[in-house]
A and B are shown apart, each in its own frame.
Chain A
Amino acid sequence: MSVLFILIGASLILALCFLAGFIISVRNGQFDDDYTPSVRILFDDKTTSSPKKPD
């Protein structure tokens, strides 16, 4: 049964990673606009998928 200590610990750490990932994505603004990306993906030619890198 003591393997549970490791398993619970591992599952917690994994869950923490997902939580951290979510928080980072919220902070980046990925959840601010839930409409535009759904339209953007339908444009035929490349739009902002490859923005010109500032040089």
Chain B
Amino acid sequence: MSSIRKRAASIMHTKIIWPITALAAILLFNLFFVPGFFNIEIKNGHLFGSLIDILNRAAPIMVIAIGMTLVIAKEGIDISVGSVLAIAGAVAISLLGVVPLWLAIVAALIVGVLCGLWNGLLIAYLGIQPMVGTLILMTVGRGIAQLITEGKVLTTDDKAFGFIGKGFFLGLPFSIFIAAFVFLFVLYLKKRTALGLFLEATGTNKISSEYAGVEPRKIYLFVYIVCGLCAAIAGLLVSSNISSADANNAGLWIELDAILAVVIGGTSMRGGRFFLAGTVIGALFIQSLTTTIYSMGVPPERIMVVKAIVVIVVSLMQSDRFRRVFQQKNKQAVAG
């Protein structure tokens, strides 16, 4: 086998190639079928266009998915992020006008940390299965958010708060900077501290890691707190963007989008190795897909069908067993 083919094969085995291919495919599709998709105009010193829109809308998913990547890397899952997002939004908006803006934001973030702490304690220290542990907050969380908003949809016209999710900075939506900051921060944790090694080690083999002096429980607690914090940040982005807190619908099903972004990004649901850049691309892909479908004029309700099919196709492509079946068929075809 020539070295080029070998290298090609090794690239094919790199997990990041899949989300990039998917994203490229969807952009290519838009290039041909959606006129003006790549147009970017400057209005009032801000950039406008579908691509910018995608970036802006993908920001909350991205932020949550980054937190979720860490959780999934340790073989966990956090399905409460949608509820935490709703709680954080409710806290922030209900406090606006009562306390200074910065305090409202900090309070929302603290609530996120507390939610993460709760999940982390259940999972790390009581040993409850992650899906089950976070299920509790998922169910109760929306009820709590309802209590905070007293069952109403709270609205705000605070300009400064609106800047978080709607404002522009250097011509780009401000939310992108927040997402980028979260990404860089977590990337720093992975690459410049031992968090990456410890997470991948505990995600692969908890007992061995423990015997090697890693403290899995602390790591678990930490990743759930980060995940809760990310959900709260996303809560700020979302509630600021729509200038309201809706306990029922804010962040509904965002946990699914986030999990999809992580899985498309190449991180296995079975824990171990994780890919932050893959997650970001996965989130962009999901949002591009949604936007594309919108701009194709397909009724928005049907997006879910497309998402479902994409999920299945992507996970099939990542499945070793599927590839093996496929390769065998190829081989037979060559032999025959």
**Chain A complexes with chain B:** no
User: Could you tell me which B residues sit within 8 Å of A by CB distance?
Assistant: none
